[in-house]
Amino acid sequence: MKLFNAFVKGTAWPVQWLCFRTKVYYADKKSQSRKIKGPAIIISNHTSVYDYAVFLFVFWRRMLHYQMAECLFRKKLLGRFLRAMGGIYVDRDARDFSFVHKSLGILAKGGVVGIFPESRLPLEGEERPLPFRTSAAYIALESGAPVIPVYTDGNYFGRGRARVIIGKSISVREMWNDSLGYKANLENISAGLRHAVIALKDELDRQREEERRRKEKKKTHVGT
């Protein structure tokens, strides 16, 4: 599985660069860069099916086991490919929580699990990101693995570049509130993780504005 993953990344690198031209930003690069050591859970907003492809190359050093919706596995060839890439099957219409146990097993072995906590793509007119489901918080609590929040602007296949920002890792156990029950804590932590992703959007906007100002200042300096 790891060899196949590395082969796909190696052969697809030029293609993904042409499609996405991803530029990566950081909330604090010293705290959390693209390098991931040990077990971790990556969470992010969900803009399209291409988010997964983008993150494969943002965190190219590690094999990412992403939770994926059942609809992606209905086509046999695609389903086999996703499983070979480490994809975790999630049936959103059934009360089957085997994906949770599989995720915990991967983390216990030091792996990296990717989750889109919104569970689906937002519809036109819906607030973005959608409220986060509690499974990511549950897996993080049970495993003790750090959560790495990520935000993508979803600008794929356009003239511009896709922009992704990586946030500081979060220990959800530090977010636990002893005055709340388990279910309330899951909901509270999920809301906190969603807020962390929203904060990354604001930070990305801030850093891009700083970039724009530096470029304008440089043009002004050259023109004088």
DSSP assignment of 93-140, as one string? TTT--HHHHHHHHHHHTT-EEEE-TT-SPPPTTS-SSPPPPSHHHHHH
Plot region of 6 (φ>0 → left; ψ -120 to 50 → alpha; else → beta): alpha
Read off the pLDDT band of 223 (50, 70, 90): low
For residues 149 and 167, the answer to whether their CB atoms sit within 8 Å is: yes
Q: In the predicted model, what is the mean pLDDT of residues 55-70?
A: 97
- Global confidence as pTM: 0.94
- The per-residue pLDDT for 132 is 98
Residues in CB range of 24: below 8 A, 6 or more apart = 34, 58, 163, 164, 165, 166
Encoding tokens for residue 155? 């600008």
Give me the amino acid identity at 75: K
The predicted-structure confidence for 23-59, as pLDDT tens digits, reads as follows 999 999 999 999 999 999 999 999 999 999 999 999 9
pLDDT exceeds cutoff 90 at 224: no
Q: In the predicted model, what is the mean pLDDT of residues 132-150?
A: 98
Q: What residues pair up with 123 in beta bridges, in sequence order?
A: none
Considering Cα of 124, then 127, then 150, then 110, what sign does the dihedral take? negative
- The per-residue pLDDT for 158 is 83
- The per-residue pLDDT for 220 is 76
The predicted-structure confidence for 79-94, as pLDDT tens digits, reads as follows 999 999 999 999 988 8
Q: In the predicted model, what is the mean pLDDT of residues 209-221?
A: 87
For residues 17 and 190, the answer to whether their CB atoms sit within 8 Å is: no
Chain position carrying tokens 């790891």: 2
Instruction: Please count the other Cβ atoms lying within 10 Å of the Cβ belonging to residue 81.
Output: 15
Backbone φ and ψ for 15, nearest 5 degrees, come out as -65, -45
Backbone φ and ψ for 26, nearest 5 degrees, come out as -140, 140
pLDDT exceeds cutoff 90 at 96: no
**% pLDDT > 70, the chain:** 98
